[in-house]
């Protein structure tokens, strides 16, 4: 996700909803993921793997509005990434087994109010151009804001052109004067 880094801008928390999960399996999964996180000094501080007892899990999933059901030995649940603000409030749910990197990036920028990454100005411009579509469950170009930006740019261009032409005018001539006598 260009311009945003796990090492600097956000953290990931993976939570098991299986109350029978053992610490060994959570540590093994964490070890596998952390081994793939090259270039990150302390992967455990950037990506945590949590497990808990039934009542702890139930409290968490209820707090974030996540639903699941045990079906045999498996769990039926939506594939969702819950994006939180720095204050711990839910900012966005990003759905899908393999969410679009653009959607994750925009959700993170939105949660941080544009104050993460290499260029907060560029990120604020992205948020201006894209808005979350709850029906499609993804970010989409927001035509109204694109047209507003185009209108402003057109006015700036015309103003700069008018100013440049006004400055090139010969001294002592009046507008509309051709100089022929």
- Tell me the per-residue pLDDT of 43-93, one tens digit each, with 9 for 90 and over: 989 999 998 888 999 999 999 989 989 898 899 998 889 999 888 899 888
pLDDT digits (tens, 9 = 90+) for 21-53: 888 988 899 999 999 988 888 898 999 999 888
4 Cβ partners below 8 Å, 6+ apart? 10, 105, 108, 109, 116, 117, 118
CA distance 34 to 56: 25
DSSP string, 46-80: HEEEE---HHHHHHHHHHHT---EEETTEEE---E
CATH of 12-119, one of 3.40.50.12780, 3.40.30.10, 3.30.1490.20, 3.30.360.10: 3.40.30.10
pLDDT digits (tens, 9 = 90+) for 105-137: 888 888 887 677 666 777 777 777 788 787 777
Q: What is the pTM of this model?
A: 0.67
């Amino acid at each position: 996700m260009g311009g945003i880094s796990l090492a600097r801008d956000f953290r990931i928390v993976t939570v098991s909803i299986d109350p029978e999960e053992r610490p060994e399996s959570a540590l093994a999964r964490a070890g596998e993921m952390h081994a793939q996180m090259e270039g990150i000094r302390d992967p455990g501080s950037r990506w945590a793997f949590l497990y808990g007892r039934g009542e702890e899990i139930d409290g968490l999933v209820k707090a974030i509005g996540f639903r699941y059901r045990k079906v045999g030995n498996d769990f039926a649940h939506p594939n969702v990434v819950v994006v939180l603000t720095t204050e711990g409030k839910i900012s966005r749910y990003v759905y899908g087994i393999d969410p679009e990197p653009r959607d994750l990036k925009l959700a993170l920028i939105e949660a941080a109010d544009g104050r993460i990454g290499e260029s907060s100005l560029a990120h604020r411009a992205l948020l201006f151009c894209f808005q979350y579509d709850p029906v499609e469950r993804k970010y989409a170009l927001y035509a109204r804001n694109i047209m507003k930006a185009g209108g402003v740019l057109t006015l700036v261009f015309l103003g700069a052109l008018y100013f440049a032409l006004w400055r090139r005018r010969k001294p002592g001539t009046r507008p509309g004067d051709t100089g022929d006598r």
